[in-house]
Structure 1
Amino acid sequence: MLYIFNASTDPYFNLAAEEYLLTTFQEDIFLLWRNAPSIIVGRNQNTMSEINYDYVTAHRIPVVRRLTGGGAVFHDLGNVNYTFLVSGSGHATDFAHFSQPILRALQSLGVDAALRGRNDLCIGEQKFSGTAQCVRNGRMMHHGTLLFSADMADLTDALKVKPGKIQSKGVASVRSRVTNISEHLKAPMTVEDFIGHVAKEVCAGDAQAYSLTEADKAAITRLREEKYATWAWNYGDSPKYQVYAEYKFASGTAEIHLNVKEGRIAAIRVFGDFFGDRDVSLLEEALAGVPHERNAVMQALSHAQVERCLWGANAGDFAAALF
């Protein structure tokens, strides 16, 4: 087995690295890595229905889609990610097999951790790790989070979705009570020391350290730019969904209904008791086919005469109602 510590904290690069190692290497690999503040959404999720879009935009938090299923998670430098990459699918869906070495590493620190349900690692009733898997060409990837000293306020705020606004057929996240591992240690330790401890316990002298080469990094960077850092992968690959918004302004109330497919506004209708001297269909036509993304919407509205269609509103007001 190869042991790799990926020192990058760029979430786009790190998710690309997982796919590169999964599809390029044949050796079994144990990988440890961390992301700067970011939201990682599951392969089958609708991104917009999983995030607090206003909070994420204001704090410039990257949102990245991963290869595996499951729910959306918030990452920061207090969260340690681990990945097992193995050849053969003999352990497909066997979450316990991959969880055991992680649990042993924690138990050796005096932390009473256990696998709960199919894929959650918990201390008591509180979750500190969610895990997920996928198989590509006979190789399996099993990965998970280890909340060590994550900022719980950011975690909560970034994933606090406005209720009832977005209806989607995507797989919704199930929110759980969570905890940091650091709160349960017998003696304090840094996140860096924790990473070293997990690596030592899991590898147990049976792994060869491997550092990503310049050729590896170049290939990962290409995959990052072509896939993981793109709007098409992170937002456009979402299942179709509907958005309902109600906006009150000086001349009345507008009800806005959106159908979004492959991340683009497939149809939009605006109803209400508002006034204007231009037909609201001008707004509907301007937004048809536009990515459901704030900058793209603002650009499309810049020549749509929002103020004439909806007296008392401007492009910023109307765009804000769509997210």
Structure 2
Amino acid sequence: MLLIYNEKTNPYFNLAMEEYFLKNTTEDLFLLWRNESAIIVGKNQNTLSEINYEYVKEHDIKVVRRQSGGGAVFHDLGNICFTFIACNNNHFSDFKRFTMPIVDALKGLGVNAEFSGRNDLLIDGQKFSGNAQYNYKDRVMHHGTLLFSSEINDVSAALKVKPIKFEGKSVKSVKSRVTNISEHLKEPMTVLEFKDYLMDFIAKTDKDSKMYTMTDEDIANIEKLVEEKYSTWEWNYGNSPKFALSNELKYPGGNVEFNLNVEKGIIKDIKFFGDFFGKEDVSFIEEKLTGVKHSEEGIKEALKDVNINDYFLNATVDVLVDGIMGVK
């Protein structure tokens, strides 16, 4: 088994790295890595319905879609991510096979961790690890999170969705009580000391394991995948399942209700209702926004030459952007 100790913390790079090694290697691999603040959403999720859009925007948190299913998770530098890539051999959905080495490593530190339910690891009934899998041809990729010293309040705030009505068939995240591994250690460790310990432990479980350092060619290919896929709006937002969004916003000119349908990240139709005033008919704005990307940039570009005050008295483009993006 090849062991990769990755020190890069860019979430776009790290998610692309997983796909690259899954699709371009034949050996078994084990990877350890960390992300700077980011939300990683499952392949089948509606990104906007999983995140606190205002919080994510204010704190400049990257949002990245992964290849595997399951729910959205928050990453920061206090969280360690691990990835196993192996020949399938009917191991898809066998979460316990890939998580037991982690459980054993923690027991070596005196932490009573256990596998629970479908894909979680717990300490004293509290979750510290969520896991997901993705199958590609005859290969399976299993990856998971390990909350070590994460900012739990940030986890909660970033994933706390406000009461906006999203309707669709996307997979919803299940919120759980969470804990950090560091709170259960008998002797204190830093997150990087724990990462080193974990790599050493996994190495000792496989006598044929050896460290692998990414080559310049590996990195160049991963960066290409970042540019073409993982850093793009199309993958991270546009790939969301079809959904309907309704929102209501109060501004100095009155109340506006926003109702829209979005498919593959594109506004298919939109209607405005409310007690606002305007000298021009809002149907013009509705037509301007039909077929536009459901993003701040897309909306602003479509309305850049429009005097919003003519349609929504005392409003600005920012008021419409907030309402259409689901901000209260």
- TM-score clears 0.5: yes
Distance 2:212 2:249 in 1: 55
Secondary structure (helix, strand or coil) at the match of 1:153 reads helix
Unmatched 5+ stretches in structure 2 = none
Unmatched 5+ stretches in structure 1 = none
2:287 to 276, 279, 285: 285
Partner AA of 1:17 in structure 2: M
Q: Which residue matches 1:136? A: 136
Partner AA of 2:114 in structure 1: A
Q: Which residue matches 2:182? A: 182
User: How far is the alpha carbon of 1:168 from its aligned partner?
Assistant: 2.5
Q: Which residue matches 2:48? A: 48
Mapping for residues 23-172 of structure 1, pairs under 5 Å: 23-172=23-172
Q: Which residue matches 1:243? A: 245
Q: Which residue matches 1:322? A: 324
2:236 to 234, 237, 241: 234
1:265 to 264, 267, 274: 267
Aligned length: 323
Give CA-to-partner distance per residue, 1:162-211, whole Å, 9 cap, x none: 12332231001000000000000001001111011111112215211000
User: How far is the alpha carbon of 1:245 from its aligned partner?
Assistant: 1.2
Quick check: 1:303 aligned with 2:305? yes
Matched-pair contact (CA < 8 Å) for 1:104–1:201: no
Partner AA of 1:131 in structure 2: N
Deviates more, 1:203-212 or 1:6-15: 203-212
Secondary structure (helix, strand or coil) at the match of 2:287 reads helix
Distance 2:288 2:54 in 1: 23
Distance 2:195 2:251 in 1: 52
Distance 1:304 1:261 in 2: 25
Quick check: 1:210 aligned with 2:212? yes
User: How far is the alpha carbon of 1:315 from its aligned partner?
Assistant: 0.9
User: How far is the alpha carbon of 1:251 from its aligned partner?
Assistant: 3.8
User: How far is the alpha carbon of 1:299 from its aligned partner?
Assistant: 2.1
Q: Which residue matches 1:252? A: 254
Distance 1:274 1:157 in 2: 32
Kindly tell me: are residues 89 and 287 of structure 1, through their superposed partners in 2, closer, same or farther at Cα, counting changes over 3 Å? farther
Distance 1:155 1:14 in 2: 19
Partner AA of 1:321 in structure 2: G
User: How far is the alpha carbon of 1:321 from its aligned partner?
Assistant: 1.3
Q: TM-score, normalised by structure 1?
A: 0.98
Matched-pair contact (CA < 8 Å) for 1:258–1:265: yes
Matched-pair contact (CA < 8 Å) for 1:122–1:128: yes
Distance 1:167 1:109 in 2: 45
User: How far is the alpha carbon of 1:106 from its aligned partner?
Assistant: 0.5
Give CA-to-partner distance per residue, 1:68-104, whole Å, 9 cap, x none: 0000000011000000000133211111111110100
Matched-pair contact (CA < 8 Å) for 1:49–1:168: no
Give CA-to-partner distance per residue, 1:255-287, whole Å, 9 cap, x none: 110101101111101112221111101111111
Deviates more, 1:205-214 or 1:47-56: 205-214
Matched-pair contact (CA < 8 Å) for 2:46–2:170: yes
User: RMSD across aligned C-alpha pairs, in angstroms?
Assistant: 1.1
User: How far is the alpha carbon of 1:244 from its aligned partner?
Assistant: 0.6
User: How far is the alpha carbon of 1:304 from its aligned partner?
Assistant: 2.5
Distance 1:156 1:51 in 2: 10
User: How far is the alpha carbon of 1:295 from its aligned partner?
Assistant: 2.2
Secondary structure (helix, strand or coil) at the match of 2:288 reads helix
Give CA-to-partner distance per residue, 1:189-242, whole Å, 9 cap, x none: 011110111111122152110000001001111011100011000000000111
Secondary structure (helix, strand or coil) at the match of 1:67 reads coil
Secondary structure (helix, strand or coil) at the match of 1:322 reads helix
Matched-pair contact (CA < 8 Å) for 1:45–1:170: yes
Partner AA of 1:203 in structure 2: A
Distance 2:218 2:212 in 1: 11
